[in-house]
Amino acid sequence: MSDKKNPPEFSVLPRHVGFIMDGNGRWAKKKGLPRSEGHKEGAKVFRKIGEYAADLGIEYVTFYAFSTENWKRPEAEVNAIMELFGDYLNEVIERIRENDEKGIRLNFIGDRKGISPELLGLMDYTHKLTEDKSKVTLNIAVNYGGRHEIASAVKEIAKKAAHGEINPDSIDESVISDYLYTAGQPDPDLIIRPSGEYRLSNFLTWQGAYSELWFSDILWPDFTEENFNEALRAYEKRNRRFGGV
Ligand code: FPP
């Protein structure tokens, strides 16, 4: 069982784990509740799993909170998700002393265009407030799309090349990685997707090229520390070859 004070030991631990927080809507529907209630419960699980990752000693975790495609949802649902995100950031500010112990460094990945000025202010403030925390870097992907991220990186690099600041012959995989939102971070070793869907949905498209994948039928609001342990136990047994033998 998971015990916060004594988390289980693993023979290998991923340095970076990505989470696709899927199944909030179905969880709510099953209970006859509005979809926003599913997101509310999902936001609680996000907090719990982020803190547990820090207890386990995982260095980087990335949570997919809102994709570039999620704007297609009804306005009320988009607003509900953004409100929960804002509530979380305000809570981080109010409880900064507790966060000191948790050691969570907040980082945001995604396109800032389209995010409200209020949320952008909270994102910048909480990023600055937590930048010296060192237990875990918690990336929240908001208005994030993997293809969009790669296209933006390519655009930046092309502009520099046009101005003679980059030699096109020097552009390799590491140069592209340096222009992504996750520059300087290790690629995700493990990506976890609950809710019975078996796809990556534009999440960490470049960075996830060699990620191990773990899927489960559990809906995100029901996801527990024990489910995370299960994924980590499965990861322990994976034989990562990165194209070698
Ligand atoms: C996917 O489930 C979930 C989302 C698009 C939103 C995730 C947002 C949160 C967990 C809360 C806000 C975030 C933070 C960081 C506090 P779905 O709605 O697609 O579920 P379904 O497939 O069952 O309909």
Residue 45 CB–ligand 1 contact under 6 Å? no
Catalytic residue selected from 3, 6, 55, 70: 70
The token duo for 139 is 């990336």
Query: Would strands 190-193 and 16-20 be described as parallel, antiparallel, or unpaired?
Result: parallel
The answer, yes or no, to whether residue 1 has pLDDT greater than 80, is no
Look at the chain and count its residues. 245
244 in helix, strand or coil?
Answer: coil
The answer, yes or no, to whether residue 2 has pLDDT greater than 80, is no
- Binned at pLDDT 50, 70 and 90, residue 3 comes out as low
Percentage of the chain beyond pLDDT 90 is 91
Specify whether 222 is catalytic: no
Spatial neighbors of 213 by CB under 8 A, at least 6 apart, are 190, 191, 193, 200
The answer, yes or no, to whether residue 26 has pLDDT greater than 80, is yes
Which among 85, 11, 74 has a CA at the least distance from the CA of 47? 85
The answer, yes or no, to whether residue 129 has pLDDT greater than 80, is yes
Specify whether 22 is catalytic: yes
Cα 41 from Cα 30, distance rounded (Å): 13
- Residue 28 alpha carbon, nearest atom of ligand 1: 23
Give residue 4's pLDDT: 59
Residue 88 CB–ligand 1 contact under 6 Å? yes
Listing DSSP states for 16-83 in one string gives EEEEE---HHHHHHHTT--HHHHHHHHHHHHHHHHHHHHHHT-SEEEEEEEETTGGGS-HHHHHHHHH
- Hey, what domains does the chain have and what are their CATH numbers? 16-145+189-236 (3.40.1180.10)
CB 180 within 8 A of CB 207: yes
What pTM value is reported for the model? 0.96
90-99 exposure pattern, b = at least 16 Cβ within 10 A, e = fewer: eebeeeeeeb
The answer, yes or no, to whether residue 5 has pLDDT greater than 70, is no
Among all chains, which residue has been given the structure tokens 């990556």? 200
Q: What is the DSSP letter of 84?
A: H
Rounded to the nearest whole angstrom, what is the distance from the C-alpha of residue 42 to the centroid of ligand 1?
7
Residue 141 CB–ligand 1 contact under 6 Å? no
Please give the residue that has the higher pLDDT: either 218 or 5: 218
Listing DSSP states for 138-195 in one string gives EEEEEEE-HHHHHHHHHHHHHHHHHTTSS-GGG--HHHHHHTSTTTTSPPPSEEEE-T
- Binned at pLDDT 50, 70 and 90, residue 7 comes out as confident
Rounded to the nearest whole angstrom, what is the distance from the C-alpha of residue 189 to the centroid of ligand 1?
22
Rounded to the nearest whole angstrom, what is the distance from the C-alpha of residue 6 to the centroid of ligand 1?
30
